[in-house]
């Protein structure tokens, strides 16, 4: 790595930094807000191009409530639950 030989990771140098206005953004271009409960969605204003990430410590039941409320408000959830092949029994 020190000798910049092939097969090694890229050497971080001047020029790898993002523009000042793009730093801290999600790759989608939105600001991220970490959500722990449904009331935290008040921090995320869809007008300000904010996307929410649900904390890993949030359980399934509260996560479902957060996702429903976010969909109603038009807020993008970056880490939604995966329902592939899962049918609800209602």
The pLDDT score that the predictor gives to residue 77 is: 93
Per-residue DSSP letter, 29: S
The pLDDT score that the predictor gives to residue 87 is: 52
Q: What residues make up the domain containing 54?
A: 30-77
The pLDDT score that the predictor gives to residue 1 is: 58
> How many structural domains does the chain have?
1
- For residue 85, being part of any structural domain is answered with no
Per-residue DSSP letter, 57: T
- Whether residue 31 contacts residue 48, with contact meaning beta carbons closer than 8 Å, is answered with yes
The pLDDT score that the predictor gives to residue 72 is: 93
Pairing verdict, β 50-54 and 31-35: parallel
- For residue 89, being part of any structural domain is answered with no
List the strands of the sheet with 50-54, edge to edge. Answer: 31-35, 50-54, 76-77
- For residue 88, being part of any structural domain is answered with no
Q: Phi, psi (5° rounding) for residue 43?
A: -70, -25
Per-residue pLDDT of the chain in tens (90 residues, 90 and over written 9): 567 777 777 777 888 888 888 888 888 889 899 999 999 998 888 788 899 999 999 999 999 999 999 999 999 999 998 754 555 555
Whole-structure pTM value:
0.70
- For residue 25, being part of any structural domain is answered with no
């Amino acid at each position: 790595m020190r000798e910049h030989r092939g097969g090694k990771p890229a050497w971080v140098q001047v020029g790898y930094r993002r523009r000042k206005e793009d730093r801290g953004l999600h790759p989608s271009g939105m600001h991220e807000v970490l959500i722990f409960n449904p009331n935290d969605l008040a921090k995320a204003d869809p007008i300000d191009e904010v996307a929410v990430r649900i904390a890993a410590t949030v359980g399934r039941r509260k996560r479902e409530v957060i996702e429903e409320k976010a969909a109603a408000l038009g807020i993008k959830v970056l880490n939604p639950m995966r329902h592939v092949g899962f049918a609800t029994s209602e």
